[in-house]
Structure 1
Amino acid sequence: MKVASIETIACDAGWRNYYFVKLTTDSGIVGWSEYDEGFGSPGVGNIIDQLSKRLVGQDVRATERFHQEAICLTRPAPGSVIGQAIGALENALLDAKAKALNVPCYELLGGKLRDTIPVYWSHCPTWRINHPKYYQPQVKDLEGVRQSGAEAREKGFKALKTNLFIHDEGDAYAWRSGFAVPFSPALNVERKLIRNVMNHLEALRAGAGQDMDILIDLNFNAKPEGMLRLLRAMSDLDLYWVEIDTSNAASLAFVRSQSAHPIASCETLIGVRSFLPFLEARAMDVAIIDLVWNGALQSMKIAAACDAFDVNIAPHNFYGDLCTMMNAHFCAAVPNLRIMETDVDRIAWEGELYTHQPEYRDGALVVPDRPGWGTDPIEAALRARPPKGTGGLLQYKRAA
């Protein structure tokens, strides 16, 4: 079975776009994957188009050969958007291969270890603050934060994750200085931010109750000195983990040594070699792996490396429903799973875009047993909603 054609398709997803690879074989089987250009990765689709020229005509089943050849062809400029393009093609190959064998993708990853996946409700209530046009009810204040926590509990979720917000200037707004919102390249953490973060977390706890696990994502929004200020302020809170992003393994290891809470990190890394400095430095308690960027087969290798260092993993998953299903197969097969990220708030037309949506039962994600990823994008629905010119991080304007 050979690759006959490869196409990229994008569609409107509200405040961002969704992006897909459609890989058609000479036997008529179609393999799909979802990738992203909105999380600081413009141009992935162009690289996919270039790499596809070498993949057309090749054996669909030879996934590792494709990966190794693509690495050779891009060796002078590894990682980043090139790594993401390779991962997107590898994921589409895996879907087509599994469909040809009439098995779920998890069978190609070593087989299923669990039928349901522990998850946390991510971006709670982040999406309702940042993008109220697409996610309702809008959250404007701490009472809305409290109600979001209560909703997560009432819907049976056992864990939720939130972000950094300012509440004492009228409407709530996100603090994302690591992404230039506001533009503050020194990434300093001042008393105002600390006060607001504490108020936000206390409101979430009041709504969610004492049995809810609460996670917070600091992302790239502080340097070690600021991270420590936040961690010291939060030291008496009961938190599942604090998520931190940094490119310096030694700095993160020092921050972890001072933290009262487990540290999760590495969601923007690509390839096993990128993870090794963080593992060797004992920089994090949980390694976050982006399967969409790395590809499922390479993600299994990264997870195995983490397991060798006695580190559990969690997938980075804040994209569309196909990505959630892709990550479900990864989580079903990987032994050292901690928990899976999932976005419960969805755009109104999400259900129109896929043949099947993720199923949650008692706050856990049910692993699909259908062939391939267990869902396919509906091509006519994608094309009926043409993409915006820009979206994701690139849509934000620098504050005056």
Structure 2
Amino acid sequence: MSQQTLRIAKIECLALEARFDEMFDEVPDWLVHPASSHRVLPRRGQYATVVRVYAEDGTVGVGEAYGLPAPQVTATCVATVLAPLLVGADALATTALWQRMYQAQAAGGHNRGFFLEAVAGVDQALWDLRGKVLGQPVYRLLGGPVRERIDCYASPVPLLADPADSARRAQAYVADGFRAVKVKIGRGQRIDGAHLRAVRDAVGAGIDVLVDANCAYQLDEATRIGYLLRDLGIDWYEEPLPVDDLAGLAELRRRTGLTIVNGETHFTRFDVRDSLRLGAIDVVMPNLARCGGITETIRIAALASAFHVDIAPHGVGSAINMHAALAVMAATPNLRVYEYNRLPNPLRDALSIDRPAFRDGQLSVPDRPGLGLRLDDGVVDRYLIGTY
């Protein structure tokens, strides 16, 4: 193989939007407000920013930057800030390029949020390109496989109006082969309790029930909810408090003894470091389209392992982000489980020609070069709202 440097020729972004009002004659309220965090900003659809990195030899790597709430934001960031830094650079130097992108704005305070989400999309695309050039799945480039099938839970049972509806939704997930389901909470002890009891009674003791409060509570109310969870045999307690209340999370963990889960809004290992040092977290949930991509996620996982803490990647995103998460999980020893999001999303279910096989509560890891997916150009064109 030639040692000549393969350089980046071009970077392109595609903003995709799949609107709920185009999927449904009447959009259900639980889809517009699936979680307590959407009370202020309703959810109008599914979004993704597709990043394509073109090498001089014609190889194209594909990645995803987080699209919520508007994919134009991360697409613009990639096109106007990151692409000029990278065109002409060594396309296979993933670590060096991640550092260049991060350092370009870190001193200016842009080390979280939309900027890191844009970095994530480029980083995923660089890893996909690298795997394609070398003819290897990304998980092998990361030292895997540690595993070839990934345990999943179904998410979410959204904020439905009737506890019986929550029970039926959970039962449907179990019928699909899931052995664990996640329920959205955050409406107070009485309402949360009614829905959780209905779900627990419906699925039985043999199915794991997880909960996600999406930062709905303060410490004392979260403590009362925690005692309710213990009575129902529920251990997973996700984002019970504002994500930056690390002292409160540590105290809640001490009070309840539950598994405190956080991290989908942690953007780098530096965010996670503080949670680990304070004993405020048991499971870290990085989203690979948000937290700087594959390069930073493997650092987060390694840091967490030093504290005997697992990761459980956040499952919101398109098929691209799912494939990136599967590659990382296949190569990560300290993996707990994966969130398989089941809200209606054609960007997840139809964007890739090849869908990972799901059976008996597990997803199979694709073994094709790169991230292992091929985009369906017809689906891309259908949901395209802008090219950058």
Aligned residue-pair number: 350
| 1:73 corresponds to | 104
Which letter maps to 1:32?
A: V
User: Of residues 363, 380, 383 in structure 2, which corresponds to 1:382?
Assistant: 380
Give the SS at the match of 1:282.
Answer: coil
User: RMSD in angstroms over aligned alpha carbons?
Assistant: 1.9
The answer (yes or no) to whether the contact 2:91–2:126 under 8 Å persists in 1 is yes
Does residue 118 of structure 1 match 2:139? no
Give the SS at the match of 2:334.
Answer: coil
| 2:25 corresponds to | none
| 1:395 corresponds to | none
| 1:64 corresponds to | 95
Give the SS at the match of 1:384.
Answer: helix
Q: After the TM superposition, which residues 258-277 of structure 1 pair with which residues of structure 2 at under 5 Å, given as runs? A: 258-277=255-274
The answer (yes or no) to whether the contact 1:109–1:297 under 8 Å persists in 2 is no
Give the SS at the match of 2:299.
Answer: helix
* Structure 2 unaligned blocks of 5 or more: 1-5, 20-44
2: CA distance, partners of 1:299 / 1:349: 22
Rate the CA distance shift 1:330–1:348 in 2: closer, same or farther, 3 A. closer
The answer (yes or no) to whether the contact 1:324–1:358 under 8 Å persists in 2 is no
Deviation at 1:296, TM superposition (A): 0.8
Among all aligned residue pairs of Structure 1 and Structure 2, give the percentage whose two residues are the same amino acid: 28
Mean alpha-carbon deviation: is it higher for 229-238 or for 323-332? 229-238
- TM normalised by structure 1 equals 0.83
| 1:195 corresponds to | 190
- TM normalised by structure 2 equals 0.85
Deviation at 1:350, TM superposition (A): 5.1
Which letter maps to 1:71?
A: Y
| 1:221 corresponds to | 216
Deviation at 1:316, TM superposition (A): 1.1
| 1:391 corresponds to | none
2: CA distance, partners of 1:263 / 1:41: 30
Rate the CA distance shift 1:39–1:238 in 2: closer, same or farther, 3 A. farther
Provide runs of 4+ in structure 1 moved above 6 Å: none
Deviation at 1:257, TM superposition (A): 0.5
Does residue 161 of structure 1 match 2:182? yes
Which letter maps to 1:205?
A: R
Give the SS at the match of 2:147.
Answer: coil
Does residue 250 of structure 1 match 2:247? yes
| 2:121 corresponds to | 88
Give the SS at the match of 2:213.
Answer: strand
2: CA distance, partners of 1:219 / 1:42: 25
| 1:47 corresponds to | 77
Deviation at 1:70, TM superposition (A): 1.4
| Deviations 1:350-386, CA, capped at 9 Å, x for gaps | 5442121121111101111011111132234212223
Deviation at 1:222, TM superposition (A): 1.6
Which letter maps to 1:112?
A: P
Rate the CA distance shift 1:386–1:10 in 2: closer, same or farther, 3 A. same
| Deviations 1:13-32, CA, capped at 9 Å, x for gaps | 23132221011111111110
2: CA distance, partners of 1:213 / 1:93: 37
Give the SS at the match of 2:383.
Answer: coil
Rate the CA distance shift 1:248–1:33 in 2: closer, same or farther, 3 A. same
1: CA distance, partners of 2:139 / 2:384: 32
| 2:9 corresponds to | 4
Rate the CA distance shift 1:85–1:349 in 2: closer, same or farther, 3 A. closer
